[in-house]
Amino acid sequence: MAKGQFKIQKMSDVGTDNPIVAGLTIGLFDIVKMAEINKETQDTINSSNLNIVHSLTKAEKIGLQICKNIEAVMEELKKTGVQTQSSERCVNVPSTEGLDDVREFLKYGKQSLQELVKIINLFCDTGLTNPNYKKICDKLKVSYGASDPVYLQVNEDHDGWLKKFLDLRDADEHPNFIPDGKKLYYDYDINWSEAHQKWVVGVPHFYEGTAIYELIKTSIHNIFTFAEEINILFLQKKMPAIVEICKVPEDQQAGWGGRRFVTQLKPPFYPKGAKPEEKV
């Protein structure tokens, strides 16, 4: 046997204890295998989901570090209070370490959403490769109708958070999208309020007012669950007649290896374990 015939290379520093990894890999592999689609399509779905995992866990790692740094500044302010000089004519404004990494966070988040378009196109050819979910939503409505679960899910998420997230990434890529005199984001700021007779601390935020901390925390969860649920809704259309995809109650997910969705025979032929919480 030749030396170095087999090679091991670490591709990620996160494992299946991470919900993103568990949900989009082992949580979907069996469901994809059960669907009545050809092997090539199955492989493409699994490959795209793995790419989403790589991009989204990078975004998560970057984002959580930014949030940690924001929290550290706030904790210090709570301890010391607002620091001033020259009889309060000068105020010391803190800064957040690594805040510019929010650009990378937006980039990897968008990459995840762009990769998801490849999966959507396997089931409904939208003619798009970029994550323009408004146009994708319109295509889904034409193909499946206004009452279809896939259309309803994409439409709800687009209006709820998708558009805002992608607009912020577009603003970073195309600064002309940002109103004159503004920049993509702002760090901490401290100003005196005459009305309240106290110093007011402004937290890091984007040019349109969204708090960076809140956007990071919600977007990681939103992108993950959106990707997972879009997979599930499309795969449900390709399940055998006697099989359905069901959502596992949250308090029972540990028993299913952290999975939120499983395939089950339609009632009354449930396997061992609790009945699913709801149908997809």
Specify the DSSP element, H or E, that contains 75.
Answer: helix 39-80
9 band by pLDDT with thresholds 50, 70 and 90: very low
Alpha-carbon span 227 to 117, nearest angstrom: 10
Give 155-205 pLDDT, tens digit per residue.
999 999 999 999 999 999 999 999 998 999 999 999 999 999 999 999 999
17 band by pLDDT with thresholds 50, 70 and 90: confident
Q: What angle do CA 65, 67, 72 make, to 5 degrees?
A: 95
Residue 225: C-alpha distances to residues 113, 177, 262 (Å):
11, 28, 15
* Spatial CA neighbour of 239 closest among 270, 262, 269, 272: 262
What is the pTM assigned to this prediction? Answer: 0.88
What SS3 state is found at 244? strand
Alpha-carbon span 7 to 9, nearest angstrom: 7
Give 22-50 pLDDT, tens digit per residue.
899 988 999 999 999 999 999 999 999 99
* Spatial CA neighbour of 229 closest among 158, 156, 280, 264: 280
Name the residue type at position 164: K
Q: Which ranges of 81-180 would DSSP assign to H, the alpha helix?
A: 102-123, 133-144, 149-157, 163-173
- For the chain, the structural domain boundaries read 19-239
- Does the structure show a pLDDT above 90 at 16? no
Per-residue confidence (pLDDT) for residue 271, from 0 to 100: 52
